[in-house]
Structure 1
Amino acid sequence: MTMAYLAQPDQQQTLEWLHGGLFTILLDSQATEGRLSVGRFDIPKGEAPPFHVHTREDEVFLLLKGEALVWVGDERHELSEGGIVYLPRNIPHGYRITSDRADLLLMATPAGIEEMFRHAGRDITTPRPDGFEITKEKLAEAAALRGNLIIGPPR
């Protein structure tokens, strides 16, 4: 049975992510019957994930605030506040935040990408372990869980 889902902020999970950024899972697989994942990044200048490919999901980024560089294949684009990017699966891509901070909305279909973030990130409601870090190895392991391939360093 399909049903609507509503989650107030205190029901959403926030994870510590790369470079001290935060990723909040707004909608996950369970909430959308596997159809859609939605998350929101609060990320500092310079944050850049490795150049990568999603093999299972299409992805959309909406830059709510801030500025970024986005690489799609070999093409480099500037993304300004309010800009949106559609990334079909199997297209290599990456980004780098160029403003002091960015507020970035991520949508992926089908759902499931949130498991990558949960695997490598840290729920901020739990005590932070000494020396917590998302290593290259941990990130690659998390990406592989979702069929994502890291194909190069950050751009």
Structure 2
Amino acid sequence: MSAIHSALGSGEPNDAFGLQRFFRVTAAETGGTLAIFEEMVPEGAGPPLHIHHTETEVFTVLDGALRFHADGKDITGKPGDIIVIPPGTRHAFKGIAPGTSRVLIQLTPGEGANFFVDIATEDLHPPDDMDRITQIAARYGVEFVGPPLD
């Protein structure tokens, strides 16, 4: 692997689940060791409670604020905060600042970021497509275990 440069504002766009994200560094570029993407999280939006069985997920809050729930603990992430979610941890997050929050997400190893590529490619949307979404998630070691945060 060579040095990788991802300039601010660059990256491959993806809008799976109606959230705007940009893949800044892909698993393909790192030999699968990690992927980094920037995600815009509108107030009240966020994924359902889920588990990454094989990946560590690192969140760096860039703008706004996010509420994280990880293994029964609530954390408020503000700009500059880093939240590390180890593999096997039940977790979810949602935007809690007015407008849109921005977070940089790193997955290690990085292949799991391709989940979003597959979802966007097939144009899948919950709740109608949850069976297929769940199948794709399982392929990447992700399990949905509850609803989004309220």
- Aligned-CA RMSD value: 2.1
Q: 1:44 aligns with which of 42, 45, 62?
A: 42
Cα distance in 1 for partners of 2:100, 2:12 equals: 20
Q: Distance in 1 between matches of 2:40 and 2:10?
A: 18
How far did residue 122 of structure 1 move? 5.3
In the alignment, the residues of structure 2 paired with residue 7 and residue 68 of structure 1 have an alpha-carbon distance, to the nearest angstrom, of: 24
* Aligned equivalent of 1:68, options 66, 69, 78: 66
SS at match of 2:28: helix
Contact kept in structure 2, 1:15 and 1:122, CA below 8 Å: no
Indicate how the Cα distance of structure 1 residues 107 and 10 shifts in structure 2: closer, same or farther if over 3 A, else same: closer
Q: Give the aligned partner of residue 129 of structure 1.
A: none
Deviations, residues 73-123 of structure 1 (Å, cap 9, x unaligned): 111122222211001100110001111211110001111122101011259
Shift of 1:22: 0.5
Q: Which runs of 5+ in 1 are unaligned?
A: 124-131
Distance 2:6 2:22 in 1: 12
Matched, 1:142 2:136: yes
Structure 2 residue aligned with 1:17: 16
Map 1:67-146 onto structure 2 (within 5 A): 67-99=65-97, 100-121=99-120, 134-136=125-127, 137=130, 138-146=132-140
In structure 2, relative to structure 1, the CA distance for the partners of 1:46 and 1:139 (3 Å cut) is farther
Say whether the 8 Å CA contact 1:16–1:122 is kept in structure 2: no
Tell me the TM-score normalised to structure 2 length: 0.87
